[in-house]
A and B are shown apart, each in its own frame.
Chain A
Amino acid sequence: MVTPTRTPTREPSDPGARAPRPLLAAVGALLRNGWRGLTSMRTALVLLFLLALAALPGALLPQRSLNQDLVDQYFADYPWLAPTLDRLGFFDVFAAPWFAAIYLLLMVSLIGCVLPRTVEHFHTLRGEPVVTPRNLARMPHHGRATLDVGLDEATDLVRARLRGWRRAERADGAGRTVSAEKGYLREAGNLVFHLSLIGLLLGFAGGKLFGYEGQVIVMSGGGQFCNTGILGYDSFRAGLRVDGTGLTPFCVRLDDFEADFLPNGQPDSFRGTLSYQSAEDVKAGRVDEWRTHQLEVNHPLRVDGHRVYLLGHGYAPRFTVTFPDGQQRTEQIQWRPVDQATLLSEGATKFEPPGVTDEEERRNSQLAITGLFAPTSSGGPVVTSVFPGLLAPEVAVDVLRGDLGLDDGRGQSIFQVDQRMVESGELVRVARENLVPGESLTLDDGTVIRFDGVEDWAYLQVSYDPGQHAVLVFAVLLLAGLGLSLSIRRRRFWARLTPTDDGARTVVELGGLARTDRAGYGEEFDRMRADLLDRPTTREES
C-alpha cells in the first residue's frame, strides 16, 4: 500500500498507433498498452474492489470447505437457486476460477508495478541526492540568513546538522550547495510489503498443494493411531499434490482423557495425556519408547512437522455379550453426541455371534445395541442427559437381532443400524431397557448383555502444512514493511551557502520539500532552520 509514486496511469496514447503499421508492431503496441493498463494504479484499485466483493459470498453463503451440511440445507431451502449458484462456484468461492483470476491478476499487476520500482529504488540508493534547485524560495519550506562565519565553518555547521541524512555537496559559483535526503526506508518498506504479499501467496499455495489434514477418533485408555495411510483416518482432506502415500509414520496413543465442566455445564477444560513416537523412533525400532505430551485445546502436539489437535470429545459405552453357549464378546465403539450441551449421545454397538459356521445362521443372529447414552442421566423411564460430565451414566437401549446388512458390500454408519433391514423385517427388536453400569439384560434366547462402563474418546486432527512457516515469515515482513512505509517520511533538504564579498560571513539559504503525502515535514524543517539560522551572530533576512 502507500505507493505515492506508483505509475500514475500513463495515458496509453501512442501518436503513431493509429497509422497503418505492420501487424507485429500493432500486436506489440497492444501488449504494451495492455501491460501499462494492468499495472496502473487505477486497475489495481479496481481489482482490489473486485477481490473484496468476490470474497463476500464466501462469508454469506454456506461453503463446502467449512460445512457440507449447511450447503445441503441451502439446496433444500432454495432448490430453484442453489444449482445455479453451485455451477458458478458460489459454494466453493475460494476455489472458484473467477476468484483465482482476480487475485492472480492483482498479483501480476503488483509485480508489474513493484519490480520496476525496486530497480528504480536501487538506483536511487546508489545515486546522490538531487541538485539544489536554483530558487530555494519557491520550495514549500524555506529560510535564509547571514551567518557571521566563513564558508567552511558554515558548511561544517550544515554537515553536523545533517548527520544521518544522505548528502551531496557541490560547488556553486563562489560558494557551495548541500543537497540532502532522508527517509529512503519508506520506499524500501513499501517494496518489502508488496513483495511479501507475493511470498505470502506462494506459501499459502504451497500449503494447499502439499498439505493435508485428517481427523480420527481415538479411544482413551490406550487407543492408538499411526499416520501411515489415509485408511487410518475417519476423514481426510488431501492437498492437490497429496496422494496419501509416503505419509510421515509417527504414532500417537491416548493414555488418558479428562473433561471438566463448570456446574452450569460449560466446558472448563479438556486434557488428554498423549504418548507419541516420532517417525524417527518408529524407523529406529524404538517401539517401546513413548514420549508424552499434555494435549489440550490451544496446545497441540507438534511432531515431525505435523500437528495433532484435540478437536472434540465424546463417550463410548462398553457392552459385554454372553452368548447362550457361554462365549463372551466385548465391544466398545464411539457414540456420537447429539446434543453438545449435555453430550447426550447416540450410537450402535454391533456384534457377530461367535463360532457360528453356517453363513445363513451367522447372518441372521447378529446383534446391535442401539439407543441413547446420557453421561448424567435425569433418571426416570425416559433417559435424557442433564449434564455433560460423567456423573450418573445411563443407557437407554434397543437390542436388535437379525441381519445387520454388514455383508451386502455397502458401507454403513457406525452410529446407526441400517433402517432398510429393520423395515424389511430382517432385523427385529428383541429388547428395550435402561441400564446403568454393571446392569444387564437377558434376551429370550438366554443371551445376556451387560453395560460394563464408559470410556472417553477424543476427536483428533492431524494437520500438515509445509507452507505455514513461510507464510508467517512473510506476514512478519509484510507488517514490518507496512510499518516503515506508513511511518517514515521521505523529505529533501537543501542549503546554498554563498560567502559575502569580504568572505567573513556566509549567506545561508535553506529549502525543504516533503516527497510524500501529508508528511508533516514543517515542524522538523522549522527546528532545523532554527538550529542553523537562529544564532546570536545571525542577521535574519527573511
Chain B
Amino acid sequence: MLAELATYSDRLFVAAAGIYALAMVLHAVEFAAARAKTPELVGAGGPDAEPEAAPTRSRADRFGRMAVALVVLAALLHAASIVARGVAAQRWPLGNMYEFIAGICLAAVVTWLVVLRRTPASRPAGLFVLLPVLILMLLADSVLYAPAGPVVPPLRSYWMSIHVSTISISSGLLLVAGVASLLYLLRRSALLPAVTEKLPVADTLDRLAYRITIVAFPLFTFAIITGAIWAEAAWGRFWGWDPKETVSFVSWVIYAAYLHARATAGWRTGRAAWINAAGFATMIFNLFFINMVVAGLHSYAGVG
C-alpha cells in the first residue's frame, strides 16, 4: 500500500514536471507571438481589464493564459506528489535532497502564481521562472532521486519539519526574486533588445524582486534561527560554522546588503539587483556544492 503510494508520488512528480515543460512551451509561443509592449499597455494583462477587447484577445494572450492554467494544474499535482510521499514514508516529506528540491520548486511556483494574481503584467516572465524550476526538478528526479523511506535518527525531530519547510519556502521565494532581478538587469542592459522589450517593464521587475525579498528575508532568518535551535539539540552547539551554516550566513549577509542597498543613494536600482542576483547564486551554491562536494554535518541530507 505504502509502496504503491510512493510510486504514485514519483509519477505525480514526473507528471508535474512534464506539465511545467508544456507550460514553458506555451509561454515560449506567447513570448514569440507577442509584440513589443508599449508602455501604455502595461498593466492591462488582467482578465477583464478591457471587456470589449476580450473577444479579439490576441494569440499571445491566449497562449499565455493556457500556460498559466497548466502551471496551476501542475502545481496541484506537484503538491499531491509531496503529500503522497509524506504519507508513503510516514514522515515529513523533506528528508533528502530530492524532497527538498521538490519543496523549493513548489514554493517557487506558488510564489509565481501569487505574483501573477497580484500583477498580471508579470506574465511574460513566466518562461524564465519555469526554466530554473524545471532544471531543478529534472536534476532532482535523475541525479538526486532517493526512494521514500525512513531517515536517520538525527533528522527525527519536529524541528526538521519547521526548519526545512521554512528554508524551502524562503528558497523558493528567493528563486523568483533572483529571476526577477536577473531579468531586470537584462531589461536595463542594451543586450538583446528584441527579446528584452517583451519582458515586463523594468520597474515592475524591480518592484517584484524587492517585494518578494522583504517577505523571504525574515522567513529565511527564521529558518536559520530554527536551524540553530535544532542544532543545539542535535549536534551539541547552536552554531558551529559547518559549511552549510557558513554559506547560509553568507547568503543572509548578502540579502541584508541588498536591503541596505535599496536604501542607499546610487545603489537603489542596478547595483541592488546585482546584489540580489549574487544572493540567489549563493543559495544555489549552498544547495548543490555544499551538499554534494564539501563534507559537513548537513551532508546526510544529500545523496549517498
**Cβ-based interface call for B207 (8 A):** yes
* In the complex, B135 has a CB within 8 A of chain A: no
**B253 to A, closest residue via Cβ:** A52
Task: Report the bound CA distance from A395 to B239 in whole Å.
Answer: 40
Does any Cβ of B come within 8 Å of A48's Cβ?
A: yes
In the complex, chain B residues whose CB is within 8 Å of the CB of A4: 263
Per-residue CB contact flags for chain A residues 461-475 toward chain B (1 = under 8 Å, else 0) read: 101010010011001
Q: What 1/0 flags go to B215-250 for Cβ under 8 Å of A?
A: 001100110010011101111111111111011011
Contact residues, A4-51 vs B (CB, 8 A): 4-6, 8-9, 41-42, 44-45, 48-49, 51
Chain B 128-171 near chain A by CB (<8 Å), digits 1 or 0: 00000000000000000000011011101101000000000000
Does A3 reach chain B (CB closer than 8 Å)?
yes
Q: Which of A53-91 contact B (CB under 8 A)?
A: 55-56, 58-60, 63, 65-67, 70
Confirm or deny: A352 has a beta carbon within 8 angstroms of a beta carbon on chain B: no
- Interface members, chain B 57-106 (any A CB < 8 Å): none
- Taking a contact as CB atoms closer than 8 A, the residue among B217, B232, B250, B295 that contacts A486 in the complex is B217
- Is A145 on the interface with B (CB-CB < 8 A)? no
Q: Are A297 and B234 in contact (CB under 8 A)?
A: yes
Docked Cα-Cα span, A52 to B253, in Å, equals 6
Contact B253–A262 (Cβ < 8 Å) = no
- CA A166 – CA B261 in complex, angstroms? 30
- The A interface is mostly helix, strand or loop, or mixed, namely mixed
Q: Which residues of B contact A328 (CB under 8 A)?
A: none
| Residues of the B chain whose Cβ atoms lie less than 8 Å from the Cβ of A94 | 241
Instruction: Tell me which residues from 331 to 360 in chain A have a Cβ below 8 Å from any Cβ of chain B.
Output: none
Picked from B210, B232, B235, B260, the residue with its CB within 8 Å of the CB of A1 is B260
Chain A residues within 8 Å of B233, by CB: 298-300
Nearest opposing residue in chain A for B243, CB measure: A59
**Across the interface, do B153 and A297 meet the contact criterion of CB distance under 8 Å?**
yes
Contacting residues, chain A, for B256 (C-beta < 8 A): 1, 48
Whether the Cβ atoms of B295 and A70 lie closer than 8 Å is yes
B211 at the interface (CB under 8 A from A): yes
Contact with B along A258-270 (1 / 0, CB 8 A): 0000100011111
* Given A66-B241, A297-B153, A475-B225: A59 and B267 interface contact (C-beta under 8 Å): no
Contact among B207, B221, B237, B262 with A479 in the assembled complex (CB-CB below 8 Å): B221
Chain A residues, Cβ within 8 Å of B154: 297-298
Minimum C-beta distance from A310 to chain B (A):
9
Does residue A454 face the partner (Cβ distance < 8 Å to B)?
no
Residue of B nearest to A516 (CB): B263
Task: Verify if A309 is at the interface (C-beta below 8 Å from B).
Answer: yes
Asked if A45 contacts B153 (CB within 8 A), the reply is no
- In the complex, A48→B254 CA distance in Å? 7
Residues of B within 8 A of A297 (CB): 153-154, 156, 234
Cβ-defined contact, A45 with B225, below 8 A: no
The reply to whether B257 and A45 contact each other, CB–CB distance below 8 Å, is yes
Bound-state CA distance A204–B237 (Å) is: 11
Asked if B259 is an interface residue, CB under 8 A from chain A, the answer is: yes
> Does any Cβ of A come within 8 Å of B294's Cβ?
yes
Task: Name the distance in Å between A74's Cβ and chain B's nearest Cβ.
Answer: 12
Q: Which residues of A360-390 have CB atoms within 8 Å of chain B's CB atoms?
A: none
**How far, in angstroms, from A299 to B222 measured CA to CA in the complex?**
22
Taking the closest CB of chain B, its distance from the CB of A489, in whole angstroms, is 12
Flag if B221 contacts A482 (CB, 8 Å).
Answer: yes
Contacts of A307 in B (CB 8 A): 232, 236
Instruction: Judge whether B189 is part of the interface by a CB distance below 8 angstroms.
Output: no
Contact A468/B241 with A59-B294, A482-B221, A486-B214 known, Cβ cut-off 8 Å: no
Contacts of A274 in B (CB 8 A): none
**Chain A proximity of B2: nearest CB distance (Å):** 15
Which residue of A6, A41, A59, A486 contacts B246 across the interface (Cβ within 8 Å)? A59
Q: Are A41 and B264 in contact (CB under 8 A)?
A: yes
B150 contacts across to A, CB distance below 8 A? 262, 266, 268
A67 to B241, CA, bound (A): 12
Question: Is B265 in the interface zone, CB < 8 Å from A?
Answer: yes
Taking a contact as CB atoms under 8 Å apart, the answer to whether A268 and B153 are in contact is: yes
Cβ of A52 and Cβ of B263 under 8 Å apart?
Answer: no
Instruction: Give the CA-CA distance A482 to B240 in the complex, in Å.
Output: 24
Chain B residue nearest to A270 in the complex (CB): B153
B239 neighbours in A (Cβ, 8 Å): 204
Q: Which residues of B contact A8 (CB under 8 A)?
A: 264-265
A476 partner residues in chain B, CB cutoff 8 A = 225
B260 A45 Cβ-Cβ under 8 A: yes
Interchain nearest-CB distance for A421 vs B (Å): 35
The complex places the Cα of A70 from the Cα of B152 at a distance, in Å, of 24
**Hey, which chain A residues are within 8 Å of B264, CB to CB?**
6, 8-9, 41-42, 45
> When the two chains form the complex, which single residue of B152, B156, B247 contacts A266, counting CB atoms closer than 8 Å?
B152
Answer whether residue A232 sits at the interface, using C-beta atoms and an 8 A cutoff: no
How many angstroms from the CA of A471 to the CA of B224 in the assembled complex? 13
A463 cross-chain contacts in B, Cβ below 8 A: 236-237
Q: Are A213 and B237 in contact (CB under 8 A)?
A: yes
Residue of A nearest to B237 (CB): A463
Report Cα–Cα, A301/B294, bound state, in Å.
Answer: 31
B290 at the interface (CB under 8 A from A): yes
Nearest chain B residue, comparing its CB with the CB of A4: B263
Contacting pair B241 A44 (CB below 8 A):
no
Complex contacts, B207 vs chain A, CB 8 Å: 518
A471 to B207, CA, bound (A): 34
> Which of A67, A298, A483 lies at the interface centre, i.e. has the most chain B CB atoms within 10 A of its CB?
A298
Q: Please, how many angstroms separate the alpha-carbon atoms of A147 and B20 in the complex?
A: 56
A445 contacts the other chain (CB 8 A): no
With A298-B154, A472-B229, A486-B214 already in contact, the answer to whether A517 and B263 are too (CB < 8 A) is: yes
> 10 A-B pairs, CB-CB below 8 angstroms?
A2-B259, A2-B260, A2-B263, A45-B260, A58-B241, A59-B250, A65-B240, A70-B295, A486-B218, A518-B207
What are the 4 tightest A-B residue pairs by CB atom distance, in nearest-first order? A1-B259, A59-B246, A48-B257, A59-B243
Given contacts A8-B264, A55-B250, A262-B150, 15 further A-B contacts (CB under 8 A): A4-B263, A49-B254, A58-B243, A58-B246, A59-B290, A66-B242, A266-B149, A269-B153, A309-B235, A463-B237, A468-B232, A468-B238, A478-B221, A479-B222, A482-B218
